[in-house]
Amino acid sequence: MEKTFNLTRREDGIAILTMDVPGETMNTLKAEFGPEISEILSEIKGDNSIRGLVLISGKKDSFVAGADISMLDACQTAGDAKALSQQGHVVFNELEALNIPVVAAIHGACLGGGLELALACHLRVCSDDGKTMLGVPEVQLGLLPGGGGTQRLPRLVGITTALDMMLTGKQIRPKQALKMGLVNDVVPQTILLQTAVEMALAGKRTAKPVKKSLVNQLLEGTGFGRNIIFDQAIKQVAKKTQGNYPAPAKIIDCVRQGMAKGMQKGLEVEASHFAELVVSKESEALRSIFFATTEMKKETGAEGATPRKVKKAVILGGGLMGGGIASVTTTKAKIPARVKDINEKGLSNALSYAYKLLDKGVKRRHMTPAVRDNLMALMTTTTEYKGVKDADIVVEAVFEDLALKHQMVKDIERECGEHTIFASNTSSLPIGQIAQAASRPENVIGLHYFSPVEKMPLVEVIAHAKTSPETIATTVAFARKQGKTPIVVQDGAGFYVNRILALYMNEAAQLLLEGQSIEHLDKALVKFGFPVGPITLLDEVGIDVGAKIAPILEKELGERFKAPAAFDKLLSDDRKGRKNGKGFYQYAAGNKASSKKKAVDESVYAVLGIKPGMDKDLSAVAERCVVQMLNEAVRCLDDGIIASSRDGDIGAIFGIGFPPFLGGPFHYIDTLGADNLVNILERYQAQYGDRFEPCPRLKAMAAEKTRFF
């Protein structure tokens, strides 16, 4: 069997231990490496000629990307998971106990178990490369660092900084890592190994004390002060997670116990908590999302089709969506984008939007002004069809108006090449209807982004009956280069995400009209696990947008999509939401973006002609909205709108923030049981009418006791 670890000795007495997992593009830690590492460590201990050890990766662009997640799925019990953590502790303790200097030379991703390995070394040096990132992102999988990270990290960088890293999973850049004391030096990659060797030859250095703010010095220096830090952290975590995610509280407990009772006790607590989290349903759901997205990255979206290379994109429309799409095209995909709008104002908006986003990176020192300016140079603008002939893809982001979109299709077919893809960022109009104006319908496709484009990870790639496989594959590859997670959906009003969202929003509106208060409705769904409540979401998206989409969905999909008449009353009162500073919530004049603890605009109740009455139980409010979404998600699968329940889960989580710890609508239905869901829907159907009628597939699954996964 090929070895993962290779030990070479230099004449100056420094040994180089190179990690290179055979047949993999990145290094990940696996349980079976334990004996191999232990054998090498005892060889090093027994060789007096070795004066120091440097640990480096044999991979071109990564150090160690973390532990192999599939190991965790192989754990049958909490005991199996605990043994994994304890095995890691033994190996890392052995490494740390070597009586020669041990230096980690880090280039590329150094995450999770990879950073824990580096923390067990005595010193760390990393490259100043943009690919070098350090972090402990386990919390994003519902886990905690189980290889001693909860103990070594706070001792190295301080409790407050370590908690911040572990509770957010954020990744740290080289300069930041040096400043916080996570690494001892940052050098160009060309001299990384040489620097590590020199550090090993110089012998163990005592780490420089980490610069802490005066407040942190006072708090971290005493048991009383540390308790204040932990209590505050627990409060913040409870507020943020609404009690839906167990990992953050367990991370805090590991650090608390380790700092109070010593390293050994801390490691014992870490192994126990890690084991409980591995077998928790929350971590299982979050890991299923990780595997699903990893799997999706390998798919082209159209079997057997090869994507064409996109060297230039044209964006039609310089509004909020157009500006966002142009921005991710130039900054993420590094593809030149030409923005076309009918007036200069739209174009200057698109440019300033992109500039602001890039300038944030400069202010945070993530990029230099020169890099920002080079990326800005990839974006050009025009009010006429000039400089568009060589476009490989045109993304249309104009108003939801079929006649206007037909005009755009004709313009592009006249002005661009015969292979140019026409991708419409429509949120509700069927793509087949847009393609009716095309003489090359095989090039027409939907590419539905979510707002704000730079933040929302999902795009829906919508194929109509005549879209060619090559067009699908090229569009999917283009979206991936923009840093998006694309799901391929079939054509139909509302596609997938807006279709399941519409019924959820409609139900929230019905509850509002029945007398539930705005705060209570939003609180119920945030408690359930959504990032924002439905009423806040309606203000964000725009009440006018909701009003425009609703009739399209009702016309195409039937009576159950009929929106409450309340929309008309709101629009007559010029309430569009955040965009014009007038909606369900109050927006500070001249500062539409201030969303810190917004207050409800009480006058909206009079506009709707309602008086808030008794608030129902939070879980009952959430249930009524969510079951509508679940029922419609299954209908979308039945109608062939989505190809699989996996795509449905990813679409709902990344598109509308369906609670990740539930694994998505289809995973959640499996948790509830189809029979239970059918009973709930039928109860509501008897009470509120046929909009709650369970779809045929759910009834069949309830009868046959089957599951999606």
Q: Is 460 a catalytic residue?
A: yes
Q: Contact 406/436 with Cβ under 8 angstroms?
A: yes
Q: What per-residue string of b and e applies to 54-69 under the rule 16 or more CB within 10 Å gives b?
A: bbbbebeebbbbbbbb
CA distances from 587 to 106, 573, 605 (A): 47, 16, 17
Residue 110 DSSP SS3: strand
Please classify residue 418 by burial: count the beta carbons closer than 10 Å to its beta carbon, then call 0-12 exposed, 13-18 middle and 19+ buried: exposed
Task: Tell me the C-alpha distance between 329 and 475, whole Å.
Answer: 12
Q: Contact 153/113 with Cβ under 8 angstroms?
A: no
Backbone angles phi, psi at 655, to 5 degrees: -90, -40
Task: Tell me the C-alpha distance between 346 and 318, whole Å.
Answer: 5
Q: Which residues pair with 489 in a beta bridge?
A: 462, 642
Residue among 493, 448, 457, 453 at smallest CA distance from 475: 448
Residues in the chain: 709
Tokens of 668: 């959640």
Q: Contact 72/274 with Cβ under 8 angstroms?
A: no
Neighbours of 337 (CB within 10 A): 26
Task: Tell me the C-alpha distance between 449 and 458, whole Å.
Answer: 7
Neighbours of 386 (CB within 10 A): 11
Options 138, 270, 454, 460, the catalytic residue: 460
Can you tell me which residue has the tokens 């490691």? 267
What angle, rounded to 10 degrees, do the helices at 247-261 and 149-157 form? 70
Task: Tell me the C-alpha distance between 68 and 264, whole Å.
Answer: 25
Give catalytic residue positions.
460
